[in-house]
Amino acid sequence: MKPYKVIVSGGGTGGHIYPAIAIANEIKRRNPDAQFLFVGASDRMEMDKVPQAGFDIEGLWIAGIQRKLTVDNLMFPFKLISSLWKSRKIIKKFQPDVVIGTGGFASGPLLKMATVAGIPALIQEQNSYAGITNKLLGKHVNKVCVAYNEMHRFFPKEKIVKTGNPVRSDLLDISGKSEQARAKYELDASKKVVLVIGGSLGAKAVNELMYEKLPFLREQGTQVLWQTGKLYYDTYKHLDSEDVKVMAYIDQMDMAYAAADIIVSRAGASSVSELCIVGKATIFIPSPNVAEDHQTKNAKAIEKEGGAILIAQKDLDKKFELMFKALIDDEPSRLALGNKINTLALPNATSDIVDEVENLLKDKK
């Protein structure tokens, strides 16, 4: 039998790239002879991260639409036409048996041309509120794997499978790693640790909050493990010290999560899924600057179940110190939040998504 040929498209941020890589790795584990091609946006981080994971990648000249009139917006129609044309060319040359989209700029043109060509296709919608690209694609793909309930608001009900979002396998069990993690980051084992994560590129408002609140956090006797994101590292690296560890990017997230007592995070879909898996007390600060305000919707879905604290970015000055102090001083509340968010985890997401991919491959035969 010929080996399966799989195209995976997703990128722009780690939240789209790592699920794509996790899905590809699980397909490869089950089908060692399978051939893979990733398709991403030519100037985004997937062009580095995917080859580092051992997969080939092609880039499309594509970007998102900004909310204001910019040169990039004026160029968008030309980029879209170029990307559709190149996607058709890639599909014709590679001849995939199935195409998988995990979101990001490139997945729209690639999945569109795959469905036009009649190739079985699956999208993985990570957020509680679907973006416009996936809503449009949902009408044409064979399956839509989702992480939240009520997604029939956006997709045909018969195509939906609730699987959850893929997470890195090393996060599935971080129990027993706390002591090792604190030693790795040279943290005091007797003090509480606050982990701050604003996404792979960084979050300006979260970084500014941490800068402003460092004296307060020190007053509480806490240490800070702070991922600034690569865009902001140079601004804050001078703050690195014995009790504040400043990093552009954290490669071993299992260790960072294991070290933490409280996590302060944006509410991107992949981050939310990871935080459900690791089960630590979390304060979400959703970005208000994303399409359809989907981060707030993601965080509210967890807050509604009693699994996290949500502070709107506009309310940080009024609420952060009060809510943080209440949490750091109350171990039972921290444990209760961590236990509750953990009940919302879907740890078999990657395997369940690949089951759906294999069903499409079987149906094609």
164 is in an annotated binding site: no
Paired residues of 161 in beta bridges: 145
14 is annotated as contributing to ligand binding: yes
Q: Which residues, in sequence order, are CB contacts of 256 under 8 Å at separation 6+?
A: 181, 185, 195, 197, 225, 227, 250
50 and 21 in contact (C-beta within 8 Å)? yes
Q: Which tokens sit at 290?
A: 């994303």
Nearby residues of 110 by Cβ (< 8 Å), 6 or more positions away: 7, 9, 39, 60, 83, 87, 90, 91, 99, 101
Contact 191, 222 (CB under 8 A): yes
Beta bridge partners of 196: 226, 264
Extract the runs of DSSP E, i.e. beta strands, from 267-320: 281-284, 309-310
DSSP state of 278: H
**Residue 104, marked binder:** no
Check the annotation: does 13 bind a ligand: yes
Does the annotation place 15 within a ligand binding site? yes
Query: What are the tokens at 48?
Result: 């580095």
Distance CA 222, CA 30 (A): 44
Contacts of 137 (CB under 8 A, 6+ apart): 101, 107, 108, 111, 112, 115, 121, 123
What's the rounded Cα separation, in Å, for the pair 233 and 98? 39
Whether 328 has a binding-site annotation, put simply, is: no
Side chain identity at residue 324, one-letter code: F
**What secondary structure letter does DSSP report for 332?**
H
**Cα 55 versus chain centre, distance:** 19
Annotated ligand binding at 126? The verdict is no
The neighbouring-strand residues paired with 144 are 123, 160
Q: Is 250 annotated as a binding residue?
A: yes
CB 349 within 8 A of CB 26: no
Binding-site residues sit at 13-15, 127, 168, 200, 250, 295
Binding-site residues for UDP-N-acetyl-alpha-D-glucosamine sit at 13-15, 127, 168, 200, 250, 295
